[in-house]
Amino acid sequence: ELTGKTVGIIGFGDISKALAKMLSGFDCRVIAYDIYWDAEAAARLNVEYADIDTIRREADVISLHVPSTPQTNGMINKEFLMGMKKTAFLVNTARGRLVVPEDLAWALNNGVIAGAGMDVFSPEPPLPDNPLLTAKNTVLLPHSGACTIESHEKAGMMAAKNVADFFAGREVKTILNPDYQNHTEA
């Protein structure tokens, strides 16, 4: 039940904005953090800005949507988990390296948090000794939720548009390294 609950989103890109849009019908509070905050989208989706510590303390559900970088790898560790509500759930559909699996399994097995849902692991597929495979209150799925005919068609069309925009000198809207567009080679 999400009614009256707080959902915290860490990373506010396209996928998490789609999640926020879906959550709008559940009468819940949505808070989010991103280093590149999109105030316009947040206002349109009724999402409040919050720092990561506020999300950790206040969210009933935390959903991760950040890339795997040296700064984000291992961000969900024992310290982070101990600062969450005991009734909270963690959902990671972003990257497996964001979570320290031993720390999350410890938190789940000791009632530090209520549960977790994961469809990403490090490495993928998870090794047989991954502690999350036997942790309490955990739902584990293969990272294949987006494997539909429609999603592959959309991805192909987006890639083709990006290539066409790049070679025409237009802005590539979904580029992951926007500074690259300012770099020209002879």
- The model's pLDDT over 62-76, given as tens digits with 9 standing for 90+, comes to 999 999 999 999 999
pLDDT tier, 186 (very low <50, low <70, confident <90, very high otherwise): very low
29 is catalytic: no
Q: Cα dist. 67→42, 123, 129 in Å?
A: 20, 15, 25
Nearest CA among 138, 141, 51 for reference residue 93:
141
Give this prediction's pTM. 0.82
Query: Model confidence at 15, in pLDDT bands (50, 70, 90)?
Result: very high
Residue 144 has pLDDT above 80, yes or no: no
The full length of the chain comes to 186
The yes-or-no answer on residue 65 being catalytic is: no
How many Å apart are CA 172 and CA 38, to the nearest integer? 18
Selecting among 29, 65, 95, 97, the annotated active-site residue is 95
Residue 175 has pLDDT above 70, yes or no: yes
Specify whether 1 is catalytic: no
What sign has the CA pseudo-torsion 99, 69, 147, 91?
A: positive
pLDDT digits (tens, 9 = 90+) for 47-57: 999 999 999 99
pLDDT at 80 over 50: yes
**Which one of the listed residues 57, 58, 102, 143 is annotated catalytic?**
143
Of 44, 124, 152, 170, the active-site residue reads 124
pLDDT per residue as tens digits for the range 106-115: 999 999 999 9
Closest CA to 160 of 174, 146, 149: 174
Mean pLDDT on 122-144: 92
Reported confidence tier of residue 149, pLDDT bands at 50, 70, 90: confident
pLDDT score of 73: 97
Provide Rg for the chain, Cα atoms.
18
